[in-house]
Amino acid sequence: MPISDFLSDLTNPDLAFLARALMVSVIAAVVCGVVGTHVVLRGMAFIGDAVAHAVFPGVAVAFVVQGSLVVGGIVAGLVTAVLVAVFSQNRRVREDAVIGVFFVAAFALGIVVISRSPAYSGSLQQFLFGSIVGIPERDVVLVAVTGLAILTALAIGHRILVTDSLDRESAGSMGLPVFWVDLVLYVLVTLAIVISLQTIGNILVLALLITPAATARLLTDHLGIMMTLAPVIGAGSAVVGIYLSWSFDTPVGGTIVLVATGCFILAWLFGPRHGLLAARRRTRTDSIDAGQTVDT
């Protein structure tokens, strides 16, 4: 499909769902890109997949009572995030173990709740895999407001969150309120994932949180640039993914993830300092320099 036709469809009132999907995808990608930077720096990628499971009981309850899936997911995710932050303070059990216990338990609760609705399997397909047509107008506003709140919180707590992400033990020894910093980070990750579910889907949402940030990590050594690149890569992947999905009638969530993965592979190969080719060039240069030194 020519880009001009895609732009025409975006402005077509009969295809308003396409513009809504694009807006939600871009907002979610930008927010996940910034939040994902902290997740990648802290090495807590597991939490993204776990949160996607944690929101399930809230989504299940919202589905049963015909409420907003976004609101239901936010409530369930926040409750679980608070439980994880509290129980993680006991250093006898590692943080990842506590995450595994509570987030899987939340998913199990969701299964029990949703099983009470006899017609649940098909109706929750958009939650599991994403849906380009399943985003109501009210959720666009909710996603925009939530995304703005997340970015504002990240800007306000930037220095503390970065310190905690880079070296949690040092942050504690400096007198920073590590418990509350952990809680804020869990909450922000939860909110970022929830606003991404309807376009990217529960199964693939981890990619939107991790892949753009990991790609940016391969492209720069500067945190500020990384935090700029990650949302740009995520938003670009969302736009290109929706365009390809609309053009070739492919699942929108899967297409966005594949585009983002393609960006990661390109960065892994051609990154200016940390790409495979750059590493090989440095190795050859070091070998030549070593040989010249020996000859001298």
Binned at pLDDT 50, 70 and 90, residue 148 comes out as very high
The pLDDT value recorded for residue 118 is 64
Going by C-alpha positions, the residue among 90, 126, 101, 100 that lies closest to residue 17 is: 126
Please give the residue that has the higher pLDDT: either 291 or 33: 33
Going by C-alpha positions, the residue among 40, 20, 22 that lies closest to residue 32 is: 40
Tokens representing residue 27 in the block: 């907002």
What mean pLDDT is predicted for residues 77-101?
76
Judged against a pLDDT cut of 60, whether residue 182 lies above it is answered with: yes
Helix locations, 167-222, DSSP H: 168-173, 178-194, 197-200, 205-219
Tokens representing residue 114 in the block: 């949703």
Helix locations, 88-136, DSSP H: 95-114, 120-123, 125-129
Per-residue pLDDT of 199-258, as tens digits, reads: 787 778 888 999 999 999 999 989 889 999 999 999 999 999 999 999 998 888 889 999
What mean pLDDT is predicted for residues 48-65?
78
Binned at pLDDT 50, 70 and 90, residue 178 comes out as confident
The pLDDT value recorded for residue 129 is 67
**Lowest-pLDDT range, 91-105, 118-132, 183-197, 249-263?**
118-132
The pLDDT value recorded for residue 230 is 96
Binned at pLDDT 50, 70 and 90, residue 289 comes out as low
pTM: 0.83
Query: b/e for 91-102, b at 16 or more Cβ within 10 A?
Result: eeeebeebbeeb
What mean pLDDT is predicted for residues 82-98?
74
Judged against a pLDDT cut of 70, whether residue 126 lies above it is answered with: no
Mean pLDDT computed over every residue of the chain:
83
What mean pLDDT is predicted for residues 272-295?
72
Binned at pLDDT 50, 70 and 90, residue 112 comes out as confident
**What domains are defined for the chain?**
3-295 (1.10.3470.10)
**Lowest-pLDDT range, 49-58, 124-133, 144-153, 178-187?**
124-133
The pLDDT value recorded for residue 291 is 61
Token pair 């059990």: residue: 93
Name, in order, each residue with C-beta under 8 angstroms of 17's C-beta and a sequence gap of 6 or more: 132, 133, 135
What mean pLDDT is predicted for residues 58-85?
80
The pLDDT value recorded for residue 76 is 86
Residue type, 104: V
DSSP state of 275: S
The pLDDT value recorded for residue 151 is 95
How far CA 94 is from CA of 84, 100, 196, 206, 258, in Å, comes to 11, 10, 28, 21, 33
Distance separating alpha carbons of residues 79 and 84, to the nearest angstrom: 9
The pLDDT value recorded for residue 290 is 60
